[in-house]
Amino acid sequence: MTAQPKFPWDGQPDYAACNFALGHLIQYVEKRLTLEGRIHAETLLAAIGAIAGFSALRALMAHLAETKDPAIAGQLNIVQSNSGAKYFIGEPINRTLIPAAAGEAGRKLWSLAAGGAVAAGLDRTKLPEVGPMFAHVTQNLGGEREGRPSLPKEHQPIMPAGELLLLVWPLALMSFTGRFPGAPREFGVAGIQNWPAISARAANTFIQKVKNVLEPSIALTIVMESAIYASKLDPEPIDKATWETREAPPGS
């Protein structure tokens, strides 16, 4: 019997870089969100969900730039809120998070996050439905609950997913590129098409890590709704803020 690959990037030229990226992402996002030795579980999950969703969007955009695929381009739309914020809407974006075939399960956030929730103790038959998550995010774009999960007040992150993304995306980008300011070595660049799987694996890890303080179905909802939201964001202002605030990782 042939052994199944542990990671979807097994055997690829950037194999080592992806492994380093996963380890660094888990390490530095957790450090960044730790205050006085404690970490707020909902905020940690919203942050990694936002990274996963934005990574999926960036990978899709890179693929579209390379292939000029008219089938993808024709299904993408940009909508604008009253405040002028832009959002990407379309089925190709949704498919970056949800597997369309069994072979995609190891790369897509829903499969990996749901697997983390099941490993944390959630009955597989009681997994929350993902459709209402997409509806919640879309219905609240431009509103007071934008970037907030569809959960009671006691399970809200300390800030919306968009603000969290601005805080942690620089760490994600450093992890993916293997370049840390002031570090004596580089760890190699993880290909952008592997960014979504790397961040989804980190989400799987965090869901299991907080299982003693947060019920797995709640953790899964926070991760997914944060990711769905971040996958719709205009990359330009986030990229601009990232390069303006780029710094060494915490504890380096």
pLDDT for residue 168: 96
pLDDT for residue 83: 82
pLDDT of 251 higher than 60: no
The answer to whether the beta carbons of residues 69 and 223 sit under 8 Å apart is no
Domain ranges for the chain: 15-244
pLDDT of 240 higher than 90: no
**Which pLDDT band, with edges at 50, 70 and 90, does 6 fall under?**
confident
pLDDT of 194 higher than 60: yes
pLDDT for residue 248: 55
pLDDT of 1 higher than 50: no
**Which pLDDT band, with edges at 50, 70 and 90, does 245 fall under?**
low
**Which pLDDT band, with edges at 50, 70 and 90, does 224 fall under?**
very high
Average pLDDT over residues 40-44: 97
Percent of the chain exceeding pLDDT 90 equals: 82
87-108: pLDDT as tens digits: 999 999 999 999 988 788 889 9
**Which pLDDT band, with edges at 50, 70 and 90, does 29 fall under?**
very high
The mean pLDDT of the chain is: 92
